[in-house]
Amino acid sequence: MSLKPTVATMIGDPAGIGPEVVAKAWATGELHDYCQPVLIGSQLVMQRAVKDCGLSLKVNKVASVKDIQNDPAIIDIIDSGKFDDESFKLGLDNESCGQISADWLDEMDQLALAGEVNATVMAPISSVSMKMAGVLDKVINMEPGHSYLFLISGPLRVMHLTDHLPLRDVCDLITADLVSTSISQLNKALISWGIEKPRIAVAGLNPHASGKEEDEEITPGVEQAKAQGINVEGPIAPDSVFRHCIDGHYDVVLAMFHDQGHIAIKTWGFSGNCALIMGPPYLHMSVAHGTAYDLAGTGQADHSMMLEAIKLTGNLAAGNGFLNNR
């Protein structure tokens, strides 16, 4: 029997709920069914999180991935010792937390690039803290044509052609080549994750998928992808295409802009959502919520998104496809 993929999880901003939801996800005992998990962060921060959540897990500091014990009762964490546990307060943005978030992301990236882990997961970080530390650029830049945000909520899966951009700019950015390239990259990724014959739907930009952008750019882009042998349909009216995906007619929808995809995902079901960043040469997953400072230290934060993210990452990295959870 082959080993399960090794998945590294960065514990998130120490001042937020990241460490707590990671601890609670580990405590379910489900992670090891999907992967060999290991954390990147601070042993002391995780020990505090375990205590705040009332858990009985042991936090074990390891020097490298090869030292993990792969025991559901023991949290294995690679701790570089860079973080001063006395340098922050729970629930507050802080420069040191922003800096260490960037450092831990770098450490996790290096492990993935070196092939020591098969995939990575990022717990919630604070963009404010990272901006305070001057390291916000460490978070992956969602540049159209290079990186894509892929949101997952049960049967509804949405990749964004563009992300945080004004709608005026989106119209100018949509080109046939961008549409075709994104469909091709999406199809290749789906196959590598275990979807043998991906079914891709492309949302239109305008009501009823009828407009200049559809006629001159989106439709030609879809036709280019079809000519490559890709099973793709569109543009489809954006007021119905997401329902078609939920009903199982497609594996994923390519949305044209940020809110088009986000509104559909968050309306369908917020709890358990996770976000995959397509662009790095390895699987990189995150969660759809932030640091929730008001809950930090209470042990009450919902860990369902964190649990889903790690399980799904392990499943995709193993080539076993998406989780059948809805």
Count the neighbouring beta carbons within 10 Å of the beta carbon of residue 177: 12
Q: What is the pLDDT of residue 142?
A: 63
Q: What is the pLDDT of residue 147?
A: 85
Whose structure tokens read 């002391």? Answer: 44
Rounded to 5, what percent of the chain is helix, strand, coil? 40, 20, 40
Name the CATH topology of 6-140+280-317.
Isopropylmalate Dehydrogenase (3.40.718)
For residues 47 and 16, give the distance between their C-alpha atoms in angstroms, rounded to a whole number. Answer: 14
Own/partner pairs for 60-69, CB < 8 Å, 24+ apart? 62/38, 64/116, 65/6, 65/8, 65/38, 65/111, 65/116, 65/117, 68/6, 68/36, 68/38
Q: For the whole model, what pTM was predicted? A: 0.91
CATH architecture for residues 148-268 = 3-Layer(aba) Sandwich (3.40)
Residue 113 tokens, joined: 């690039």
Q: What is the pLDDT of residue 140?
A: 60
Helix, coil or strand: residue 19: helix
- Strands (E) across 169-299 are located at 200-203, 232-236, 252-255, 274-278, 283-287
**Contact in structure between 36 and 318 (CB atoms under 8 Å):** no
CATH 3.40.718.10 intervals, the chain: 6-140+280-317, 148-268
Q: What is the chain's pLDDT, residue by residue, as a tens digit (326 residues)?
A: 358 999 999 999 999 999 999 999 999 999 999 999 999 999 999 999 999 999 999 999 999 999 999 999 999 999 999 999 889 999 999 999 999 999 999 999 999 999 999 999 999 999 999 999 999 876 766 666 678 999 999 999 999 999 889 999 999 999 999 999 999 999 999 999 999 999 999 999 999 999 999 999 999 999 999 999 999 999 999 999 999 999 999 999 999 999 999 999 989 976 668 899 988 899 999 998 899 999 999 999 999 999 999 999 999 999 999 986 44
Q: What is the pLDDT of residue 146?
A: 75
